[in-house]
Amino acid sequence: MRTHLIIAALFVTVLLSNTDCARHETGPVTIGAVLELTGDGAELGQDAQRGIQVASELVNGKGGVRGRKIQVLFEDSESKPEKAVSALQKLITVDKVHVVIGALFSSSTLAMAPIAERNGVVLISPGSSNPKLSEAGDFIFREYPSDTYEGTITADYMWKKMDIKTVAILYVDTDYGQGLRDVFRRRYLSLGGSISIEESYEQGSTDFRTQLSKIKQKKTQWIYMPGYYSEVAKAMAQARQLGANSRFFSNIGAADPKLFEIGKGAVDGLLITAPKLDLASGDSLTTDFLKSFEARFNRTPGFPAAYAFDTMLLVAEAMKRKGFDGVEIKQGLYSIKDFPGVTGKTTFDRNGDVIKEFIVEVARGDKFERFDTVD
């Protein structure tokens, strides 16, 4: 009798254990996101957050991934690398996530990368472009192209298409700004161009008159200014106040509606390189993205939202293909070829990098317009 009771108890224990496993496998799958929700990158980070929310709702509306709904836990980096690290550690140790989307700022993503790699957690950025990320680890991916590509394109365009022989460089002193400066400088000098002066500024700076005065003394018309919308807008306005006849060329970090609010008419004529994004393409995914985004948030999505939207879909696709733990998600991402998204097709190379088609845009009035294509 005692033997039968022991066997029965073991049977019940196994049954309950299997029930718990089944419940776990059919419950929500938790994904982390570390974004710049406050601080200098708040406009960009909040836009990206909205893109992730729309994508997760789209996936869940179609039954989720392998029958499991997606639940996204958002953490705020406050636009600071040290806060991004703390947020990632919390997501890994407390929330037990196997994949984290973020950050937008290269400095934050680079700071998080060693921790994610060490823990076997996939870290995939929708906006970081510093070249160092290419060697950050096997679990590190990005949906946005490397500065190695964008900086080269900008140098080629200014030299070959615009016949600009000399430029000044005014860059944000972060991993993002340094990465673009280094790639641009190397390519531009190799083509035969000259750089009259290089000046830097801290992220969040509001006064650029000292740097602009030095550039004005060099009588250099064109300024290459890799950075973000707030600083670019203020620098352009102050250049006008100083009577400088400067023209500016920047990057996607400047492409935010706040640029026009801050810089007003002073930003007219700003040129930027940007990955091609055709939200008027009419394809079904882009149409669904726009309708869902505008219906929920009553606004038009920006670049961060579009890239974050695609990043969320890529994570879902990877889990659908291989599974839910870090190794399986990593394998799933590497297996993706020509995945169709609103930002174009995505294939990850052996470094977790992507290549996207670029264009040149110009600031006119209160919006960016296509200025030229890039060969």
**Domains defined along the chain, listed by start:** 24-146+279-356 (3.40.50.2300), 148-275+359-373 (3.40.50.2300)
Give me the residues paired with residue 194 across strands: 166
Between CA 249 and CA 113 the distance in angstroms is 30
How far is residue 134 CA from its own chain's centroid?
A: 14
ω into residue 33 within 30 of 0, thus cis? Answer: no
Confidence class for position 3, pLDDT limits 50, 70, 90:
very low
Query: What are the pLDDT digits (tens) for 200-217?
Result: 999 999 999 999 999 999
Confidence class for position 20, pLDDT limits 50, 70, 90:
very low
Instruction: Describe the strand order of the beta sheet including 70-76 as a list of residue ranges.
Output: 70-76, 29-35, 99-102, 122-125, 140-142
Between CA 145 and CA 34 the distance in angstroms is 19
Q: Where would I find the H helices in 127-196?
A: 147-156, 175-191
Query: What are the pLDDT digits (tens) for 63-80?
Result: 999 999 999 999 999 999
Query: What are the pLDDT digits (tens) for 26-40?
Result: 799 999 999 999 998
Burial track 156-183 (b if 16+ CB lie within 10 A, e otherwise): bbbbeeeebeebbbbbbebbbbbbbbbb
Mean pLDDT of the chain: 92
Which stretch of 11-20, 130-139, 237-246 has the lowest confidence by average pLDDT?
11-20
Identify the CA nearest to 200 among candidates 166, 230, 169. Answer: 169
Burial class (CB in 10 A: 0-12, 13-18, 19+), 201: buried
